[in-house]
Amino acid sequence: MNTTDRTDTPGANQTAVDANDPNHVLIFDTTLRDGEQSPGATMTLQEKLDIAAILDQMGVDIIEAGFPIASEGDFEAVSEIARMAERSVICGLARAAKGDIDRAWDAVRHAKKPRIHTFIGTSPLHRQHQLAMDRDQVLRKIEDTVSHARALCDNVQWSPMDATRTERDYLIETVKVAIAAGATTINIPDTVGYTAPRESAQIIRDLLENVPGLDKCVIATHCHNDLGMATANSLAAVEAGARQIECTINGLGERAGNTALEEVVMALRVRRDIMPYHTGLDTTKIMSASRMVATASGFPVQFNKAIVGKNAFAHESGIHQDGVLKNAETFEIMKPEDVGLSASALVMGKHSGRAAFRAKLKDLGIDLGDNAFQEAFVRFKALADSKKDVYDEDIVALIDDERTSAANDRIRIRSLRVVCGTGAPRSAELTLAIDGVDHEVTAEGDGPVDAAFAAVNKLVPHEAVLKLYQVNAVMDGIDAQATVSVKLEEDGRIVTGQAADTDTVVASTRAYVIALNRLTLRRGKSAPNATISLAS
Ligand SMILES: CC(=O)SCCNC(=O)CCNC(=O)[C@H](O)C(C)(C)COP(=O)(O)OP(=O)(O)OC[C@H]1O[C@@H](n2cnc3c(N)ncnc32)[C@H](O)[C@@H]1OP(=O)(O)O
Ligand SMILES: CC(C)C(=O)C(=O)O
Ligand SMILES: [Mg+2]
């Protein structure tokens, strides 16, 4: 094929790998182009501008801002981002069509550092079924369109779509043509997430061995995650000589997504010992970018997602919490601060131990003596067994409740069962220990709380008036703890009781009994030997 050799004129403003720093890996973010291609992930212009701004500040080398021929909106977004970007190269995608390329150039030309990215399918499936072209026709198209792009812009990226399913000898031929036509970056896409790490590396090695001049271009790797290997495949390509990783925040992208930026960047940072490559990214902006993309795209990040998932730096098991409190490195391979989180989270739950519970109380400013601590821990475990998440507010309620129940209460609840629902009667079976002796009773009421209070009143008759009965959920959700407050008045004297439990009726009855104990205490002060009957 007759092509003009342009390998001697690399793009003047190309973000190229520094010859003095051969281990520098460029980060090409395509959240706004390939990421937005996820069904349902369409973003507004303002959201795109915000995301581009944080990528630019983070030090992303190249931002693929959109596909300008796709729509007026895409064209506008790419143009605006091009005008706004301070540091990053701004790239627009174009098919192997002069109209697409002209449109992409019109959008990116405003950038300090513009790039045109043009692509065409090269695999047999794509040639035959998508393009209806033979091998030679595709080669001619590559030559024609890459040279057209290069005449407009001195920074041109070319991609053989579905490269990993393209015959290797033909892939080599296409790359030779693209370089001769002026491409400055050669991207090798694993369009359908089909390759595996060893093959991903071998493709790059085969190209480097067989394409003269490729070593003067940047070689990029663009992986999809259909088999969950996008990160591994990208890193394998880097080990074989690729120096640009194409990725998206949160791995957003078509089907199972693209390589996740946060994964490759942190993998290179954490395992520098075995992968001596680096990026220029400010990783402390990763969490902000992740949250921004999740909100804009409407794709929440899965809890256990590497690096940016809610649980990525959270520990619930007692043994892990104990280790992390002694030295975070026991169970953490990177610092939460490195990705922009303030600290790792000790998630309190049924797997937590005393070390974490003590640390949590300290955090909450709660100081308990040894016995009170042991008792609180037992109650915390019981609560955690009945509740999925134990929040700080639950623990505060639990401690307050403990503090308000005096150790020498004369009335204690031994057991309570209520029957409620549609149809009457609502009844309660209650056993109270009064001065150490168990008493059992059954009572009915308008509802389960009324029945439980009536049962208490049968065993502990009194004339105090219930002035307040209030229920609050400590946190949202059907497993939220209820905090119940009751206020009783007798002869102008007010006593209160407060209790928390995941069962509202239990919390109510305990709060009521606490208030009655306080009433007993008051009366005891004036008549120390008074019997438990509170009836005046
Ligand atoms: C792997 C990737 O991520 S590739 C990027 C995929 N992203 C997108 O497609 C999002 C934006 N796309 C769009 O808005 C539209 O598809 C447009 C504007 C690009 C094209 O729209 P239409 O002209 O209506 O074409 P349509 O989408 O129906 O079909 C795609 C056409 O592009 C052709 N085509 C596909 N890839 C290429 C390519 N790299 N170079 C040249 N032509 C191509 C197809 O053969 C087909 O042509 P045909 O209509 O002659 O058969
Ligand atoms: C446009 C190309 C690079 C692409 O996104 C792919 O092949 O996955
Ligand atoms: Mg892609």
Residue ranges lining ligand 1, Cβ < 6 Å: 34, 37, 67, 69-70, 95-97, 119-121, 130-131, 161, 191
Domain for residue 9, yes or no? no
Which of 222, 245, 246, 247 should be mutated for ligand 2, with most atoms under 8 A from CB?
222
Backbone torsions φ then ψ of 345, nearest 5 degrees: -105, 130
Do 521 and 398 sit in the same domain of this protein? Answer: no
Which pLDDT value is given to residue 1? Answer: 43
Which pLDDT value is given to residue 533? Answer: 58
Do 238 and 346 sit in the same domain of this protein? Answer: no
Domain for residue 305, yes or no? no
CA proximity to 253, closest of 225, 231, 276, 221: 225
Question: Which two three-digit tokens encode residue 163?
Answer: 């490269």
In the chain, % of residues over pLDDT 90: 64
Do 448 and 371 sit in the same domain of this protein? Answer: no
Domain for residue 494, yes or no? yes
Do 288 and 370 sit in the same domain of this protein? Answer: no
Which pLDDT value is given to residue 42? Answer: 86
Structure letter (DSSP) for residue 283: G
Helix (H) or strand (E) holding 235: helix 230-240
CA of 159 to the centre of ligand 2 (A): 7
Stated length of the chain:
536
Do 168 and 280 sit in the same domain of this protein? Answer: yes
Measured between alpha carbons, how far is 270 from 88 in angstroms, rounded to an integer?
Answer: 24
In the chain, % of residues over pLDDT 70: 91
Residue 300: alpha-carbon gap to chain centroid = 7
CA of 9 to the centre of ligand 2 (A): 26
* End-of-domain residue from the set 388, 403, 418: 403
Q: Which ranges in 412-503 belong to alpha helices (H)?
A: 448-459
Do 211 and 191 sit in the same domain of this protein? Answer: yes
Do 97 and 216 sit in the same domain of this protein? Answer: yes
Which pLDDT value is given to residue 105? Answer: 98
CA of 412 to the centre of ligand 1 (A): 75
Quick one: pLDDT band at residue 530, thresholds 50, 70, 90? very low
Lowest mean pLDDT among 292-296, 366-370, 500-504: 366-370
Backbone torsions φ then ψ of 294, nearest 5 degrees: -60, -45
Which pLDDT value is given to residue 3? Answer: 39
Containing structural domain, residue 453: 406-526
Which pLDDT value is given to residue 7? Answer: 40
What CATH number has the domain bearing residue 219? Answer: 3.20.20.70
Domain for residue 309, yes or no? no
CA-proximal residue: ligand 2, atom 8 (nearest)? 191
* End-of-domain residue from the set 248, 267, 297: 297
Which pLDDT value is given to residue 29? Answer: 98
Q: Is 494 exposed, middle or buried (0-12, 13-18, 19+ CB in 10 A)?
A: middle
Which pLDDT value is given to residue 8? Answer: 41
Q: With a cut of 0.85, is the ipTM above it?
A: yes
Do 334 and 461 sit in the same domain of this protein? Answer: no
Q: Is 119 in the pocket of ligand 2 (CB under 6 A)?
A: yes
Do 57 and 186 sit in the same domain of this protein? Answer: yes
Per-residue pLDDT of 291-309, as tens digits, reads: 999 988 888 899 899 999 9
Residue 224 marked as a ligand binder: yes
Does the pLDDT value for residue 20 go beyond 80? no
Measured between alpha carbons, how far is 221 from 237 in angstroms, rounded to an integer?
Answer: 6
Domain for residue 304, yes or no? no
Which of 32, 78, 130, 140 should be mutated for ligand 1, with most atoms under 8 A from CB?
130
Question: Which two three-digit tokens encode residue 294?
Answer: 């999740």
Domain for residue 18, yes or no? no
Which pLDDT value is given to residue 475? Answer: 64
Give the number of domains in the chain.
3
* End-of-domain residue from the set 403, 431, 465: 403
Residue 351 marked as a ligand binder: no
Do 388 and 501 sit in the same domain of this protein? Answer: no
Domain for residue 118, yes or no? yes
Per-residue pLDDT of 145-160, as tens digits, reads: 999 999 999 999 999 9
Do 47 and 177 sit in the same domain of this protein? Answer: yes
Query: Is-contact 120 141, C-beta < 8 A?
Result: yes
- The atom of ligand 1 lying closest to the CA of 34 is 3
